[in-house]
Amino acid sequence: MGQSLAIAILAYPGSLKSAVYGLQDVLGHAGHISEAEVSLDVLEDFSAVSKRYDAVILPPSAGRVRLEDVPVLPGFLQHLHGNGSVVCSACTGLTFVAAAGLGAGRKVTTHWGLEQRLSAAYPDLRLDTDRLLIEYSDLITAGGLMAWVDLALALIERFLGYPVAVATARHFIVDFRRRDQRRFRRFLPDLRHGDASILKVQHFLEIRSGDDVSVADMARESGLPSRTFQRRFKAATGLAPKQYLQELRIERARDLLIETDRPVSDVCFAVGYNDPPSFVRLFSRLSGLTPGAFRGQYRREDLKLAD
């Protein structure tokens, strides 16, 4: 591949040292066997950002997280996220994501034992602790204390490719069967293009993709004139705004088809469409299968893996 990848591990006070070291080992090995130039920084000072990171990771902690021990960290995360970093948390690391307001009404996950406390502290947080990993283009959250392994493999797959992730999992003898080789194609837009106005719209769409969002709404969010916005959006993402929104919605639909038993019509409405037949045609064009066939193929593959 030949690309460069910069990842920061945020070693906040109380973070689990075994996870910090383990992330270095797993991500470092992936960089070693890939063609990418991978740099890994362990940060303990959150007062300034010295470089741009593709992803930042909040490892789990050995005990209860105390925001007062590191009050600058939520703002630090907001700054990194605003510059295009994918923010990632494992277990208790979600506390800082919530404090930074990056959950923004989306479903996120953490250790089940934290659900009551975090829900009380952050009423707008939508927790789904039945899921091990929940991914968005700009945010990845993982569940229990050892879920940092799944988080690391998700990042490796996203940035270095599926074969490198599989090879890394085999090297460390960890399970990788839940990953996305069964999903045929994914939509993981680039957040590293450097256009802050367009990135702001991408973050907006991550939260509002299920709503009735128009190109005019996107342009208004960007703060740019409509024609300038559309030109810069295409230059940054490779897609026209409407195409981008379609891809994002269909990616959400794939998640719902895999993770739930909701009828296809419910999935259609949940991701922002009002006409199920049109939704089925669009899904089929972008995914290569009808929604029902996609779900059936996934379930058949799951049964094979369980045998």
- Per-residue pLDDT tens for 218-230? 999 999 999 999 9
Predicted local distance difference test score (pLDDT) of residue 300:
60
**Residue 278: pLDDT band by 50, 70, 90 thresholds?**
very high
- Go through the chain and tell me how many residues it has: 307
- pLDDT at residue 184 above 60? no
User: The tokens of 148 are what?
Assistant: 């940092």
In this prediction, residue 182 carries a pLDDT of: 38
Which of 175, 166, 182, 150 shows the shortest CA–CA distance to 257?
A: 182
Domains of the chain: 4-178 (3.40.50.880), 196-298 (1.10.10.60)
- CA-based Rg of the chain, rounded to a whole angstrom? 19
Structure confidence at residue 201 (pLDDT):
97
pLDDT at 203 over 80: yes
CA–CA separation, 218 and 194 (whole Å): 18
Between helices 162-172 and 148-160, what is the axis angle to 10°? 150
Q: What is the pLDDT of residue 88?
A: 98
pLDDT at 175: 81
Tokens of 146: 């050892």
Q: Given a cut of 90, is residue 306 above it in pLDDT?
A: no
- Cβ proximity of 140 and 191 under 8 Å: no
Instruction: Give me the residues paired with residue 8 across strands.
Output: 41, 56
181: left (phi over 0), alpha (psi -120 to 50) or beta: alpha
Kindly give the residue spans of alpha helices, DSSP state H, lying in the chain.
17-33, 73-82, 94-99, 115-121, 148-160, 162-172, 196-208, 215-222, 226-237, 241-259, 264-270, 276-287, 291-306
CA-to-CA distance for 127 and 181, rounded, in angstroms?
26
Q: What is the mean pLDDT of the chain?
A: 90
Whether the pLDDT of residue 155 is over 50: the answer is yes
Residue 272 has pLDDT above 90, yes or no: yes
Rounded to an integer, the average pLDDT of 109-137 is 90
pLDDT at 194 over 60: yes
Chain centroid to Cα 158, Å, comes to 9
Q: Which amino acid is it at 66?
A: R
- Report whether 36 contacts 165 (CB < 8 A): no
Contact (Cβ atoms closer than 8 angstroms) between residue 38 and residue 155: no
At 288 the pLDDT is 83
Give the DSSP letter of residue 166: H
What percent of the chain has a predicted confidence (pLDDT) above 90? 73
Q: Is the pLDDT confidence value at 161 over 60?
A: yes
Residue 78: the pLDDT is 95
Q: State the pLDDT at residue 87.
A: 97
Sign of the alpha-carbon torsion through 188, 26, 72, 70: positive
pLDDT surpasses 50 at 303: no
Q: What is the DSSP letter of 59?
A: -
Mean pLDDT (whole number) for 90-111: 92
Give the dihedral sign, CA 12/47/40/143. Answer: positive
Q: What type of residue sits at position 245?
A: L
pLDDT at 249 over 90: yes
Task: Band the pLDDT of 301: cuts 50, 70, 90.
Answer: low
The pLDDT of residue 180: 41
Q: In this structure, what DSSP letter does residue 173 have?
A: T
Write down the pLDDT at residue 307: 46
pTM score:
0.82
Q: Which of 64-68, 77-81, 302-306 shows the lowest per-residue confidence on average (mean pLDDT)?
A: 302-306
Residue 277 predicted with pLDDT over 70: yes
Beta bridge partners of 139: 87
